[in-house]
Chains A and B, each alone.
Chain A
Amino acid sequence: MAIFKRFPSVAQIAALSGVLVFVLSSWTLLWFFWKYPSWLYFLQIGEILTVLAYALATNFFESLVVLAALLALAVILPKKWFAETFAAHGLALALPVLGYMIFIAYQFQAKADYPSAALNWAPVVLAGAVLLAFLVGRIPFLRRAVELFADRATIFLYFFLPISLLSVLVVVFRMFQ
């Protein structure tokens, strides 16, 4: 299949996935541990772990969605622009967007009905992400730094991937039991 030839290498995909899983799951785990003490008051450990299974399964699918979007870009764009440097370019695009999403999420803590003002910055953030991706391609030092970070983040996959798959199994089992 010609389309698979346009795919980045497995190592590049794994490196980027590690970062995505790390960011998305860490965010969820942060709030999980914020809620955990109150749950301990009335939930049993098994029930709390079930909630965690739902959370990690959701994170897993979130990571897949973001990864799929970046893979689609890799397929669409010329191979030299994106696929060959998938980890570096993907990370340069994904990190500012995820950071911006965290910023938007915090707007809701301030009980904003709808964070219109913050959302108005979306085109600027996107443009910034594209610029960063461009610079990553142009500045070797920056590219190496980003790739190094992505490479190190691969370790999170060894931890999160099995747990996420187990969580998906738990959720599926509970849905059909």
Chain B
Amino acid sequence: MTNLNRRDFLKLAGLASGSLALSALAPQALALGAQPQASKPNLIILLFDAMSAKNLSLYGYHRETTPNLQRFAERAIVYHAHDSAGNFTTPGTASLFTGTYPWTHRALNMGGLVARNMLDRNLFSLLAEDYTRLAFSQNIWVNYFLNQFTPQLDKILSPGAFSTVSQVVGSAFKDPAAYRAYDDFLFHDGNPPASLLFGLAGRLLFRRQYFSETSTLGAYPNGLPRAGIYPIYFELNKVFDGVFETLASLGAANRPYLGYFHLWSPHAPYRPTQEFMNIFDDNWKPEKKPEHRLGMRVAQSQLNTRRRNYDKYIANVDAEFGRLIDRLEAQGLLENSYVIVTSDHGEMQERGDDGHVTPLLFAPVTQVPLLISAPGQRTRVDITSPTNSVDVLPTLLQLTGHPVPDWCEGALLPGLGGTADPERSTYTVEAKSNPAFAPLNMASVALRKGPHKLIYYTGYEDQAAFELYNLEADPEELSDLYPTETELASRLKDELLTQLAAVNQPYQR
């Protein structure tokens, strides 16, 4: 197998001190990635749900949350300005899979689906010819559209796989609709079960099992990590062990594979192990930012506590990640695999807002980590130009020798075939309260272009509103330039509104 070897990467790193140098290297990276089928690299995507780049010491965060990601970064390309195309799981993940923005794939709503005419427009279908494709998501919302892609996947693991106790009914059925019917409705754990007999009995039995099997587990003082409102309780180490064993078994087969692992952590509820419970009791208080009018008005002291717990949980996840990478390396699985580490959206504890169920599009909730380690890579490359989650699909296609389809809205990532284009516009779209197949009239859209970010809020207040930030001069997004930088604001506003009108056009009645 032809890999990106040490010499190639030293050469790459040496030349990659600036974005122009990176663009010059693009064809080489491409040539290295586009290999004949017999020696195609494996693709391992590790997605950590709700992991904000802003809270990672890898990206300069005050607390030492990610020593293991930093260690991994020494053998990876690190993207410093990577945005998700959505600010919560459904649009963020769908953009990663399809290489399109939410206004195209239409997975806009909580638990929504991608447009039915896009079922063969995703990473899994595009790699179908020569790759074994396996997906595992602890987030059932992701399973909803993974199940839409069932014909293009060789295997979808149950969201309850590797869990300590779980009750996922839909995975017992071949029909994807069963998830929606049972796990989102009849047996749903957030409300009274809609199935009075089976649903109630199932829930009572599950709760009894949970208490009997977890009462002796003292390692998690706040309780076992849980996959949101769904009855999936897990121990971090067991989940990471499961990921490793799955990858090891995939590696044993004589066929390149794509393994997609969507791990719930560090998504709330933040439940670190005892070992990480006290690590950030440091009295550090982050800079207080003014409350946003569309925020939840959560008290700052509460936000600080939540942030501390989030940071502890990230550190816990990072430790498990380090253990996984060490095992993969010992097994030799990193020598023939691209490892992609990223997230679907961030998390924010500022401006009176907590979490990511928000119309706001500030960096903590949009900026996510992206690290890509090429087979056998031993050096670090840092990319500072803005990138977006829609760029991952075309890049992976290019690296594996597949053509990039013309419907794809992403571009090749700098350092892996793409060039840093300061004039390129990327977007983050939030429209969870907007019907999926209607014009985006209740939405927030962020346009990122060069150092600037224009945020457009429509439908949340009587009048549409804009905010403009210069992310280079003001990375904390504290100074709204919209009222003062009128010419720049007007230009970006025109571009954003024109784009929005174009994507809304097919849905106008």
Q: Measuring CB to CB, which residues of chain A are less than 8 angstroms from any residue of chain B?
A: 23-24, 27-28, 31-32, 34-35, 38, 40-44, 47, 50-51, 54-55, 58-59, 61-62, 65-66, 98, 101-102, 104-106, 108-109, 113-114, 119, 171, 174-177
Q: Say yes or no: A42 contacts B194, CB within 8 Å.
A: no
Q: Say yes or no: A109 contacts B181, CB within 8 Å.
A: no
Q: Say yes or no: A62 contacts B196, CB within 8 Å.
A: yes
Name which of B13-21, B169-177, B368-376, B398-406 contacts chain A: B169-177
Query: Is B323 close to A, CB under 8 A?
Result: no
Complex CA distance for A65 and B113, rounded to whole angstroms: 34
Complex CA distance for A108 and B196, rounded to whole angstroms: 12
Which one, B173, B191, B194, B211, contacts A114 given CB within 8 A?
B211
Which one, B191, B195, B204, contacts A28 given CB within 8 A?
B195
Which one, A31, A32, A54, A101, contacts B200 given CB within 8 A?
A101
- Residues of chain A with a CB closer than 8 A to B189's CB: 108
- Residues of chain B with a CB closer than 8 A to A175's CB: 173-175
Q: Which residue of A24, A105, A174 has the most chain B CB atoms within 10 A of its CB atom? A: A105
Known: A32-B194, A42-B106, A65-B197. 5 other contacts (CB 8 A): A32-B185, A42-B113, A62-B196, A101-B196, A106-B192
- Residues of chain A with a CB closer than 8 A to B194's CB: 27-28, 31-32, 35, 55
- Residues of chain A with a CB closer than 8 A to B177's CB: 47, 50-51, 54, 174
- Residues of chain B with a CB closer than 8 A to A106's CB: 192
User: Shortest distance in angstroms between B150's beta carbon and chain A's nearest beta carbon?
Assistant: 12
Which one, A55, A101, A177, contacts B185 given CB within 8 A?
A55
Which one, B106, B113, B203, B211, contacts A108 given CB within 8 A?
B203
7 contacting pairs across A/B (C-beta < 8 A): A31-B191, A42-B436, A42-B437, A50-B181, A54-B182, A59-B195, A104-B200
- Residues of chain B with a CB closer than 8 A to A59's CB: 195
Complex CA distance for A44 and B118, rounded to whole angstroms: 15
Q: Say yes or no: B175 contacts A174, CB within 8 Å.
A: yes
- Residues of chain A with a CB closer than 8 A to B509's CB: none
- Residues of chain A with a CB closer than 8 A to B175's CB: 171, 174-175, 177
**CB-CB under 8 A for A40 and B435, given A28-B196, A174-B175:** yes
Considering only CB atoms, which chain B residue lies closest to A31 in the complex? B194
- Residues of chain A with a CB closer than 8 A to B198's CB: 58, 61-62
User: Shortest distance in angstroms between A46's beta carbon and chain B's nearest beta carbon?
Assistant: 10
Interface size on B, residues (CB 8 A): 40
Q: Say yes or no: B186 contacts A28, CB within 8 Å.
A: yes
- Residues of chain A with a CB closer than 8 A to B160's CB: none
Q: Say yes or no: B200 contacts A105, CB within 8 Å.
A: yes
**CB-CB under 8 A for A42 and B435, given A31-B194, A51-B185, A55-B185:** yes
Which one, B113, B196, B203, B436, contacts A24 given CB within 8 A?
B196
User: Shortest distance in angstroms between A119's beta carbon and chain B's nearest beta carbon?
Assistant: 8
Query: Is B108 close to A, CB under 8 A?
Result: yes
Considering only CB atoms, which chain A residue lies closest to B207 in the complex? A114
Complex CA distance for A62 and B204, rounded to whole angstroms: 16
**CB-CB under 8 A for A27 and B116, given A35-B185, A113-B207, A175-B175:** no
Q: Say yes or no: A102 contacts B196, CB within 8 Å.
A: yes
User: Shortest distance in angstroms between B183's beta carbon and chain A's nearest beta carbon?
Assistant: 11
Complex CA distance for A54 and B112, rounded to whole angstroms: 19
- Residues of chain B with a CB closer than 8 A to A41's CB: 109, 112, 434-436
Considering only CB atoms, which chain A residue lies closest to B193 in the complex? A105
- Residues of chain B with a CB closer than 8 A to A31's CB: 185, 191-192, 194
Complex CA distance for A58 and B204, rounded to whole angstroms: 18
Considering only CB atoms, which chain B residue lies closest to A65 in the complex? B197
Considering only CB atoms, which chain A residue lies closest to B173 in the complex? A175
Q: Say yes or no: B192 contacts A108, CB within 8 Å.
A: yes
Complex CA distance for A66 and B437, rounded to whole angstroms: 42
- Residues of chain A with a CB closer than 8 A to B357's CB: none
Q: Say yes or no: B193 contacts A108, CB within 8 Å.
A: yes
- Residues of chain A with a CB closer than 8 A to B106's CB: 42
- Residues of chain B with a CB closer than 8 A to A102's CB: 192, 196
Query: Is B324 close to A, CB under 8 A?
Result: no
Considering only CB atoms, which chain B residue lies closest to A39 in the complex? B180
Which one, A38, A55, A66, contacts B197 given CB within 8 A?
A66
Q: Say yes or no: A24 contacts B185, CB within 8 Å.
A: no
- Residues of chain A with a CB closer than 8 A to B185's CB: 31-32, 35, 51, 54-55
Considering only CB atoms, which chain B residue lies closest to A62 in the complex? B197
- Residues of chain B with a CB closer than 8 A to A61's CB: 198
Query: Is B128 close to A, CB under 8 A?
Result: no
Query: Is B491 close to A, CB under 8 A?
Result: no
Those of B2-16 within 8 Å (CB) of chain A: none
Query: Is B268 close to A, CB under 8 A?
Result: no
Q: Say yes or no: A105 contacts B435, CB within 8 Å.
A: no
User: Shortest distance in angstroms between B228's beta carbon and chain A's nearest beta carbon?
Assistant: 13
Those of B88-111 within 8 Å (CB) of chain A: 106-111
Query: Is B208 close to A, CB under 8 A?
Result: yes
Return the 7 tightest CB-CB contacts between A and B, nearest first.
A54-B181, A31-B194, A105-B192, A42-B112, A42-B436, A62-B197, A174-B175
- Residues of chain B with a CB closer than 8 A to A43's CB: 113, 180
- Residues of chain A with a CB closer than 8 A to B199's CB: 105
- Residues of chain A with a CB closer than 8 A to B328's CB: none
**CB-CB under 8 A for A51 and B192, given A28-B186, A58-B198:** no
Considering only CB atoms, which chain B residue lies closest to A43 in the complex? B113
Considering only CB atoms, which chain B residue lies closest to A98 in the complex? B196
- Residues of chain B with a CB closer than 8 A to A104's CB: 200, 204
User: Shortest distance in angstroms between B114's beta carbon and chain A's nearest beta carbon?
Assistant: 10
Considering only CB atoms, which chain A residue lies closest to B195 in the complex? A58
User: Shortest distance in angstroms between A171's beta carbon and chain B's nearest beta carbon?
Assistant: 8
Q: Say yes or no: A105 contacts B181, CB within 8 Å.
A: no
Considering only CB atoms, which chain B residue lies closest to A27 in the complex? B196
Q: Say yes or no: A62 contacts B109, CB within 8 Å.
A: no
- Residues of chain A with a CB closer than 8 A to B436's CB: 41-42
User: Shortest distance in angstroms between B47's beta carbon and chain A's nearest beta carbon?
Assistant: 22
Query: Is B178 close to A, CB under 8 A?
Result: yes
User: Shortest distance in angstroms between A43's beta carbon and chain B's nearest beta carbon?
Assistant: 7
User: Shortest distance in angstroms between A168's beta carbon and chain B's nearest beta carbon?
Assistant: 13
- Residues of chain B with a CB closer than 8 A to A34's CB: 191
Q: Say yes or no: B109 contacts A42, CB within 8 Å.
A: yes
- Residues of chain A with a CB closer than 8 A to B200's CB: 101, 104-105
- Residues of chain B with a CB closer than 8 A to A66's CB: 197
